[in-house]
Chain A
Amino acid sequence: MKPMYQPTREQVAGLLQHTYHWVRAASEVTPAASWAAPALTVAVQLYDAEQYRPALGQLSAVVSMLHQTREAYPALPPL
């Protein structure tokens, strides 16, 4: 049985930073990207609580939202 993947703190922090910078830049292009900010905040809160796997799951949901945003606004670069 394979062990569950446990992300490290640094990995989650890096992904959060990357997503945050992307959302911040995208919000200047289109306000629709700012919808992801509250959900990203939840991911940060989970990270602060040292819940790295839930934070990663929440971040995955944020990326899904941003993916749909990119479908509506193709000018946005990929994450």
Chain B
Amino acid sequence: MTTPMTTQVPGIQGMQQQGYIPGFPPPLGLEQNAGFGQPFGGQQSGGQQFGGQQFGGQPFGGQQMQPQMYGQLPSYGQTQGSGQAQGFGQAQGSPQVQQAVQAVVSQLLPIAYQVILPQVVAITTHQVQQHLQQLVGWQLTGGQQQSGAGGFRPWGF
């Protein structure tokens, strides 16, 4: 016969008063540094160290304070202080929808930057070069548009 045991974590209230909530890691002030203003460093009171190197003295996410590259999420109706979604139509009203959109976008952005964008740039560059060659040739021929085999048709028209 087992007796129920109630576990009591001593000093929870004290820890909560100090800003520490059980289950959560001690705050590092990441929100203040991840594109919300101040450079990283000097904010942590706990002196967190990872791998022997203490965070601090360096801007978080690069020189720019805004999240860059994959962190640059488009503002699909960011919630303001009143909690109302603004911009991008009236359909997005709940924070859950916004979070879902941001989650999907954050997954797609790295793929877009790493895979799709280079391909688009390569294709576009190639097409621009072709059009430039056609345009230069058209200019050299005096802009004469002639139909038939000897004719030069810029842009394929």
Instruction: Decide if A and B are genuine partners.
Output: yes
The answer to whether B30 touches A35 (Cβ under 8 A) is no
B75 → chain A closest CB, angstroms: 10
Take A5-B59, A13-B51, A38-B106 as given contacts and tell me if A54 and B69 are in contact as well, using a CB distance cutoff of 8 Å.
yes
The answer to whether B27 touches A35 (Cβ under 8 A) is no
Take A5-B62, A10-B52, A57-B69 as given contacts and tell me if A42 and B106 are in contact as well, using a CB distance cutoff of 8 Å.
yes
Contacts of A54 in B (CB 8 A): 69-70, 110
Task: Look across to chain A and name the residue whose beta carbon is closest to the beta carbon of B69.
Answer: A57
- Complex CA distance for A68 and B80, rounded to whole angstroms: 10
- Complex CA distance for A55 and B13, rounded to whole angstroms: 36
Q: How many A-B residue pairs lie within 8 Å, measured between CB atoms?
A: 147
The answer to whether A57 touches B50 (Cβ under 8 A) is no
- Complex CA distance for A36 and B69, rounded to whole angstroms: 17
Contacts of B79 in A (CB 8 A): 68, 71-72
Kindly state whether residue B102 has any CB partner on chain A within 8 Å: yes
What does DSSP make chain B's interface, helix, strand, loop or mixed?
loop
Contacts of B34 in A (CB 8 A): 59-60, 63-64, 67
Task: Look across to chain B and name the residue whose beta carbon is closest to the beta carbon of A67.
Answer: B31
- Count residues of B near A (Cβ-Cβ below 8 Å): 46
Take A13-B50, A65-B103 as given contacts and tell me if A58 and B63 are in contact as well, using a CB distance cutoff of 8 Å.
no
Kindly state whether residue B142 has any CB partner on chain A within 8 Å: no
The answer to whether B53 touches A58 (Cβ under 8 A) is no
Task: Look across to chain A and name the residue whose beta carbon is closest to the beta carbon of B73.
Answer: A61
Contacts of B52 in A (CB 8 A): 10
A-B contact pairs, 10 of them (CB 8 A): A5-B59, A11-B55, A22-B25, A32-B99, A46-B110, A53-B69, A60-B34, A60-B67, A66-B31, A71-B79
Q: Give me 11 other A-B pairs in contact (C-beta within 8 A), A4-B63, A14-B51, A15-B28 excluded.
A: A13-B51, A36-B103, A39-B107, A42-B70, A57-B61, A59-B34, A61-B70, A61-B106, A64-B71, A68-B95, A68-B102
Seen from chain A, the residues whose Cβ lies within 8 Å of a Cβ on chain B are 2, 4-5, 7-11, 13-15, 17-19, 21-22, 25-26, 28, 32, 35-36, 38-39, 42, 46, 53-54, 56-72, 77-79
